[in-house]
Amino acid sequence: MRAQPTASHYVNGRYIEDEGGAPLPVIYPATGETIATLHSATPNVLELAIEAARAAQPAWACIKPVERGRILRRAADILRARNADLARIETLDTGKAIQETLVADAPSAADCLEYFAGAVATFNGEMIDLGGPFAYTRREPLGVCVGIGAWNYPIQIAGWKSAPALAMGNAMVFKPSENTPLSALALAEIYSEAGLPDGLFNVVQGYGDVGAGLVGHDVVAKVSVTGSVPTGRKVLSLAGSKMKHATMELGGKSPLIVFDDADLENAIGGAMLGNFYSSGQICSNGTRVFVQAGLHDRFVERLVERTKKIRIGDPLDPETQMGPLVNKAQQDKVVSYIEAGKQDGAQLACGGHVPSLQGFDGGCFIEPTVFTGVTDNMRIAREEIFGPVMSVLKFDGEDEVIERANDTEFGLAAGVFTRDLPRAHRVIAELQAGTCWINAYNLTPVEMPFGGVKQSGIGRENSLAALALYSQLKAVYVETGDVAAPY
Ligand code: NAD
């Protein structure tokens, strides 16, 4: 099952290879089979990519926004036309079930390109009346931007970063996660085919050291990272030491609060989506499910019933609902958290094992897992697991649950299920989280800003907020009378 791309890197409109870089094996997580071997970028490749971006960006910034948008729009159409092929690449790279990658990965990138293609022409500065003289502001691009991706949504992340950057007139060098390097190359090809001038979107592969090399490069004006909190801290301090703009999309341990009056099946559906989709590898997952005492037992009973029916197995089978985790290291990490949950006294309500699946012996699977009787100080309730492990916590009152939900260093997302809408808005207003849902969970339409507070990050992706963060304001004062000089 080979998925070898033409070469490791895409720079200045073409594939390039430098076998001097560290080997980067691409492993299909369902079987452990090596499906491609790429190479990490050498300093030479990195320089070529930055130089290509630097050289191409000024002319791109001078093109009318509506014309830049037209190219992004064409790329969105190609993404949609190739959705089936892209979904297959994404499934082979990440292990996520094809029934997910067909609807959630390239389609999300396409939505993003389409949105920014249209939005950028309306995203302008303002005129400020000063009673005679006036001022105006210009939204100018930053220059060369760096995007660094995580492995859970590779093409979506590449789209969410490149679309607002390019729409605004910047160039980008993108480094995918070393675990999932394939689909960003496909996106680069698509941009070229859509007419994006060479050098504006470059892909270089590599581990953290390549990421750090990009972040520290003097030509780079902005960096946007999707990754863990420890990586975000390192990148932000390096970027800060050189006064670069930075957007940090980091991890979470988000609360999902279910009140007694919630629609039971919808709340359970939200909790399952917020814990088991993408085998639980979603930053905004609501992994602390607080259920009010009056509904708790019924909630758990139905949750377990529905969770046991999840079809786990061959990710390329359209009937499969859950594939493996991305790699062995992540599988081991999740297994160790399941052990920690048991040791700390939580009750394993279902799952918790590595399933044995015929034909997938080398696969990194873990059953969807529910712990009940979880208390606030257990490790499974405090640390990001990034796997299909849900913790159910019982609560009595509104003030109590708000305090407990906020008792975390993270602040990426939060959700509330209730039929009492005044309460829903009241509780959401108190929750320390950047992205929230009422009677839903984990929906991320491109029109809505996405990002975290506290340790979960800085800045936002999607929406007009992203255009603001890929641009800088220039303010211009215009005198219409004489200069009043006292000299
Ligand atoms: P990670 O932090 O290990 O790696 C993320 C990326 O950063 C990779 O491309 C990696 O090579 C690069 N990197 C590592 N060290 C670096 C350094 N010193 N300088 C520059 N780049 C460096 O994260 P991961 O394991 O790939 O992804 C999982 C994490 O990502 C989870 O914590 C998850 O919550 C988070 N995540 C957040 C969002 C969001 O939008 N908030 C979305 C998806 C994933």
Amino acid at 255: P
Judge contact between 315 and 97, C-beta under 8 A.
yes
Judge contact between 307 and 370, C-beta under 8 A.
yes
281 in the same domain as 413: yes
283 catalytically annotated: yes
**Protein residue with its CA nearest to atom 21 in ligand 1:** 211
Q: Determine the distance separating the centroid of ligand 1 and the alpha carbon of 228, expressed in angstroms.
A: 5
Angle separating helix axes 182-194 and 154-167, nearest 10 degrees: 40
Phi and psi, residue 176, nearest 5°: -70, 170
Number of helical (H) and strand (E) elements in the chain, helices listed first: 16, 20
296 in the same domain as 390: yes
Query: Per the residue annotation, which of 100, 145, 244, 283 is the catalytic one?
Result: 283
62 catalytically annotated: no
| pLDDT per residue of the chain (487 residues) written in tens, 0 to 9 | 889 999 999 999 999 999 999 999 999 999 999 999 999 999 999 999 999 999 999 999 999 999 999 999 999 999 999 999 999 999 999 999 999 999 999 999 999 999 999 999 999 999 999 999 999 999 999 999 999 999 999 999 999 999 999 999 999 999 999 999 999 999 999 999 999 999 999 999 999 999 999 999 999 999 999 999 999 999 999 999 999 999 999 999 999 999 999 999 999 999 999 999 999 999 999 999 999 999 999 999 999 999 999 999 999 999 999 999 999 999 999 999 999 999 999 999 999 999 999 999 999 999 999 999 999 999 999 999 999 999 999 999 999 999 999 999 999 999 999 999 999 999 999 999 999 999 999 999 999 999 999 999 999 999 999 999 999 999 999 999 999 999 9
- Ligand 1 atom index nearest CA of 412: 41
- What is the chain's Cα-based Rg? 23
Q: What is the pLDDT of residue 456?
A: 98
Query: Which of these, 472, 438, 75, lies nearest to 258 by C-alpha position?
Result: 438
Query: Which residues partner with 222 through β-bridges?
Result: 145, 245
Is there an atom of ligand 1 within 6 Å of 177 CB?
yes
**Is 485 a domain residue?**
no
- Ligand 1 atom index nearest CA of 452: 41
420 in the same domain as 463: no
Judge contact between 17 and 9, C-beta under 8 A.
yes
Judge contact between 316 and 358, C-beta under 8 A.
no
294 in the same domain as 198: no
**Is 75 a domain residue?**
yes
Q: Determine the distance separating the centroid of ligand 1 and the alpha carbon of 213, expressed in angstroms.
A: 15
Is there an atom of ligand 1 within 6 Å of 208 CB?
yes
**Is 450 a domain residue?**
no
Is there an atom of ligand 1 within 6 Å of 458 CB?
no
Q: Which two tokens stand for residue 151?
A: 């492995």
Q: Determine the distance separating the centroid of ligand 1 and the alpha carbon of 418, expressed in angstroms.
A: 33
Query: Which of these, 259, 274, 277, lies nearest to 441 by C-alpha position?
Result: 274
Judge contact between 102 and 87, C-beta under 8 A.
yes
CATH number of the domain at 433, please.
3.40.309.10
**Is 60 a domain residue?**
yes
Residues 408, 253: Cα–Cα separation, whole Å: 8
Q: Determine the distance separating the centroid of ligand 1 and the alpha carbon of 34, expressed in angstroms.
A: 22
Q: Determine the distance separating the centroid of ligand 1 and the alpha carbon of 261, expressed in angstroms.
A: 38
342 in the same domain as 303: yes
461 catalytically annotated: yes
Is there an atom of ligand 1 within 6 Å of 258 CB?
no
**Is 154 a domain residue?**
yes
Residues 177, 152: Cα–Cα separation, whole Å: 9
187 in the same domain as 158: yes
224 in the same domain as 132: yes
233 in the same domain as 87: yes
Judge contact between 390 and 369, C-beta under 8 A.
yes
201 in the same domain as 97: yes
**Protein residue with its CA nearest to atom 19 in ligand 1:** 212
Residues whose CB falls within 8 Å of the CB of residue 207, separated by 6 or more in sequence, listed in order:
22, 24, 40, 178
177 assigned binding-site residue: yes
> How many domains in the chain?
2
25 in the same domain as 130: yes
**Is 54 a domain residue?**
yes
Q: What is the pLDDT of residue 1?
A: 80
Q: Determine the distance separating the centroid of ligand 1 and the alpha carbon of 399, expressed in angstroms.
A: 34
**Is 483 a domain residue?**
no
CATH number of the domain at 210, please.
3.40.605.10
Which residue from 148, 160, 461 has its CB within 8 A of the most atoms of ligand 1, so it is best to mutate?
148
Which residue from 40, 204, 215, 228 has its CB within 8 A of the most atoms of ligand 1, so it is best to mutate?
228
- Residue ranges of the alpha helices (H) in 385-480? 398-406, 421-430, 463-469
Residues 99, 102: Cα–Cα separation, whole Å: 6
Judge contact between 218 and 242, C-beta under 8 A.
yes
Residues 102, 422: Cα–Cα separation, whole Å: 37
457 assigned binding-site residue: yes
121 in the same domain as 14: yes
**Is 198 a domain residue?**
yes
- Domain coverage including residue 353: 255-438
- Alpha-carbon distance values, 219 to 141, 146, 429 (Å): 14, 10, 40
Nearest-10 Cα torsion for 427, 430, 436, 439: 0
Strands 144-148 and 171-175, sheet pairing: parallel
Query: Which residues partner with 175 through β-bridges?
Result: 148
198 in the same domain as 115: yes
